Structure 1
Amino acid sequence: MAVQFAVRGEYIQLDQLLKAAGLVDSGGAAHAAVEQGQVRVDGAVENRKRAKLRPGQRVRFGAEEIELVAGE
């Protein structure tokens, strides 16, 4: 089951999402996870640390899945 994360504005960068969602402790840890191919966006491995993610997309990191929704 995916956890919903509200995106304030048009998008959120992948590294910022991982940190804001509490999946990593720091930006450096987020960058390392992406570089190691541990993060999937919409089912595909994402290797861009600062990929712009928008509502409707899904991010998987380990056993965690995040569904991005539009914030208020």
Structure 2
Amino acid sequence: MEKIVISTAYITLGQALKEIGVIDTGGMAKWYLSEYAVYVNGEEENRRGKKLVPGDEILLEDGSRVEITAN
């Protein structure tokens, strides 16, 4: 399981996808979310602006898991 460590209150789903290298630019987030299933805490999510806080977990279509943690 990969981890994203944040020092702010939250990170958006689009920023998180860019951080883990799934997309190259923030503008690709909308396209990626329309083409691939992404789950946040077990629920399918398609909003690139969805705020993720420490403890949230992202599950990608390929089975990759990413956990948001605090600094």
The residue number in structure 2 matching 1:57 is: 56
Q: Verify: 1:18 aligned to 2:29, yes or no.
A: no
3-state SS of 1:27 partner: coil
Q: Do structure 1's residue 70 and structure 2's residue 70 form an aligned pair? A: yes
Tell me how far 1:37 sits from its aligned partner. 4.8
Structure 2 unaligned regions, length at least 5: none
TM-score for both structures, normalised by structure 2: 0.85
* TM-score after normalising by structure 1: 0.84
Q: Give the alignment's Cα RMSD to 1 decimal.
A: 1.4
Could you tell me which runs of 5 or more consecutive residues in structure 1 were left unpaired when the two chains were aligned. Answer: none
Pairs aligned (count): 70
Over 3 Å off, 4+ runs: none
Matched with 2:47 is: 48
Query: What is the Cα deviation at residue 19 of structure 1?
Result: 0.3
Say which is worse superposed, 15-24 or 36-45, in terms of deviation.
36-45
